[in-house]
Amino acid sequence: MSNTNKPRPTIKAVRGTRDLLPDQTPLWNKVEATARAVFARYGFGEIRTPIFESTELFARGVGEETDIVSKEMFTWEDRARAASEKAQSLTLRPESTAGVVRAYIEHKLGETGQLQKLYYIGPQFRRERPQRGRYRQFWQIGAEVLGPQTSGSDSPLRDAEVLEMLASLLDELGIRDWKLELNSVGNTEDRARYNIALKEALAPVKHLMCPDNQRRAETNPLRVLDSKDEADQEIINALPKIADYLGPDSSSHFSQVLAALDACGVPYHLNPRLVRGLDYYTRTTFEFTVTTGLGTQNAMLGGGRYDGLSEMLGGPKAPGIGFAIGEDRLILTLQAQNEADIKAAQEAGAATGAGAPDLSHLEIGVPKLDAYIAPLGVAQNPAALKLARDLRAQGLTIEVGDGSFKIGKSFGFADAIARNIILLGEDEVASDTATVKTFATGEQVKIERSQISNRLKS
Ligand code: AMP
């Protein structure tokens, strides 16, 4: 028999995953609501694709040689449960573009002839080494613009519009000092020529590089440019630049993107080393980095054009461009900015002797409830719940205590979570009244039950 007195070991959230508690989720919801509102202004509709897909989708769509597919995916053999089913390899999505393009193909969205502007918000899964800003389950807010060529899907205007939308979104969210880094990785032919040049340039020096870069130099030389390995930077900086290998089409496409950004006044920095980790990118690639809150994981979002992805997945030609914002990193940045602002405001207040500054506009937390109802005795519990029901039906936010609580305890609970306390004693229930105390002013009144909602709303 097992020893029932022995405490059982506790179970913790899996490494690299986290719980978002109610004091954190208001900020997440605010970010998501802002993103939805901005996307709507640009004509995007929401798409929700499954959290798991067949492994083959990512192998083909993201690329076997990428870190994501070669070492970071959560993949399992899903066994058949019935004779009619086949066992298959499934994977928790490490990103959403492949799933969105699969859905575009599966539902023949291209046959509408219209440009498809789709956005998503949801978790992604990668078996990375967890650290601040890097998790195994993380959230992305992303969008894709794709369609048949006749819908204008490969126009440089689309690239510029997506980038301008991101600049507006980050501004509206209050993200400061973001930096847009931009490059063009050319079309398939440009990339093929550049790959040859890179391989040639790497051949005499690759033995001097770290083992990862030696492998990449063979399998996917473009990825060497992504490397953060300190010792290899000098060699990497001396490698040929993709800009010198762009054909006239890619060059002209890229200059039109830049011209439209200039017209909108969106600042950018050209970064010839920005090739990004995923295989499907063509032409415009970009990243937005920030200086506050993220440390080394300073890439807040990334994206680019993927003109051949649909065909790689067996679909029709459907040029497209998209991005994914790391929502966890966006939130970390907003929190760090907020902390810096609070500190600066306090220091400014102390320096001028002006006393404590009003920082309420900087606080992002759980809003207080309109009222806490305290029944004074268990006999008042039913009337308390009925009052709560009536007030909630009128849109007020209400918590109800319990008649067994001592009055001091009710006041303690109420003060922590609500702006008012409503006391409901035997007299009040009998006379259809209630006593309402407002914590901020200390004012206490006995009023008719029907007047409570007006008072709470005032
Ligand atoms: P990617 O899909 O790799 O282009 O990533 C797009 C964005 O997602 C990055 O710029 C990060 O902000 C975010 N991101 C990627 N991997 C992680 C991770 N493991 N944890 C948190 N955020 C991530």
Sequential DSSP letters for 405-427: S-HHHHHHHHHHHEEEEEEE-HH
223 pLDDT band, cuts 50/70/90, is confident
| Domain count within the chain | 3
One domain, residues 101 and 238: no
Q: Average pLDDT for residues 328-348, to the nearest whole number?
A: 90
Query: Among 72-81, 110-119, 315-324, which is the least confidently predicted range?
Result: 72-81
For ligand 1, atom 8, name the residue with the nearest CA.
326
Q: Is the pTM of this model over 0.85?
A: yes
Name the residue range of residue 56's domain. Answer: 25-182+264-336
Task: Supply the DSSP symbol for 13.
Answer: P
Distance CA 284, CA 166 (A): 15
One domain, residues 48 and 177: yes
Residue 4 lies in a domain: no
Output the pLDDT for position 402.
97
Output the pLDDT for position 361.
58
One domain, residues 175 and 214: no
One domain, residues 177 and 203: no
Q: Is the pLDDT of residue 2 over 60?
A: no
One domain, residues 92 and 235: no
343 vs 270, higher pLDDT? 270
One domain, residues 142 and 239: no
Widest distance between CA atoms in the chain: 94
Q: Is the pLDDT of residue 357 over 80?
A: no
Ramachandran angles phi, psi of 284, nearest 5°? -60, 125
Q: Are 47 and 257 in contact (CB under 8 A)?
A: no
Percent of the chain scoring above 70 in pLDDT: 95
Helix extents (H) in 126-224: 156-173, 188-202, 211-219
CA of 123 to the centre of ligand 1 (A): 11
Residue 359 lies in a domain: no
Residue 341 lies in a domain: no
Is residue 328 within 6 Å of ligand 1 at its C-beta? yes
Instruction: List pLDDT tens digits, range 370-412.
Output: 999 999 999 999 999 999 999 999 999 999 999 999 999 999 9
Q: Which of 328, 330, 332, 334 to mutate to test the pocket of ligand 1 (most atoms within 8 A of CB)?
A: 328
- At 379, which CATH number? 3.40.50.800
One domain, residues 154 and 198: no
Residue 7 lies in a domain: no
Distance CA 450, CA 458 (A): 14
Q: Which of 20, 329, 332 to mutate to test the pocket of ligand 1 (most atoms within 8 A of CB)?
A: 329
CA of 127 to the centre of ligand 1 (A): 12
One domain, residues 379 and 413: yes
Residue 13 lies in a domain: no
Q: Average pLDDT for residues 222-227, to the nearest whole number?
A: 86
Output the pLDDT for position 3.
57
One domain, residues 149 and 228: no
- Closest by Cα among 167, 179, 137 to 328: 137
Q: Is the pLDDT of residue 305 over 80?
A: yes
Q: Which of 313, 336, 359 is the last residue of a domain?
A: 336
Residue 373 lies in a domain: yes
One domain, residues 178 and 194: no
Q: Which of 140, 278, 279, 288 to mutate to test the pocket of ligand 1 (most atoms within 8 A of CB)?
A: 140
Ramachandran angles phi, psi of 18, nearest 5°? -145, 160
Residue 3 lies in a domain: no
One domain, residues 377 and 270: no
Q: Average pLDDT for residues 253-270, to the nearest whole number?
A: 98
Instruction: List pLDDT tens digits, range 432-443.
Output: 999 999 999 999
Is residue 97 within 6 Å of ligand 1 at its C-beta? no
Atom of ligand 1 nearest to the CA of 325: 7
Q: Average pLDDT for residues 291-307, to the nearest whole number?
A: 86
One domain, residues 178 and 273: yes
CA of 84 to the centre of ligand 1 (A): 38
What amino acid is encoded at 275 in this protein? V
Q: Which of 311, 336, 361 is the last residue of a domain?
A: 336
For ligand 1, atom 10, name the residue with the nearest CA.
301
Q: Average pLDDT for residues 199-227, to the nearest whole number?
A: 89
Q: Which of 31, 68, 297 to mutate to test the pocket of ligand 1 (most atoms within 8 A of CB)?
A: 297
Q: Given CA atoms 310, 316, 319, 324 in this order, what sign does their dihedral have?
A: negative
- At 322, which CATH number? 3.30.930.10
Percent of the chain scoring above 90 in pLDDT: 77
CA dist 41 to 23, 107, 112, 305, Å? 29, 25, 21, 22
301 pLDDT band, cuts 50/70/90, is very high
The whole-chain average pLDDT of the chain stands at 92
Is residue 126 within 6 Å of ligand 1 at its C-beta? yes
Residue 350 lies in a domain: no
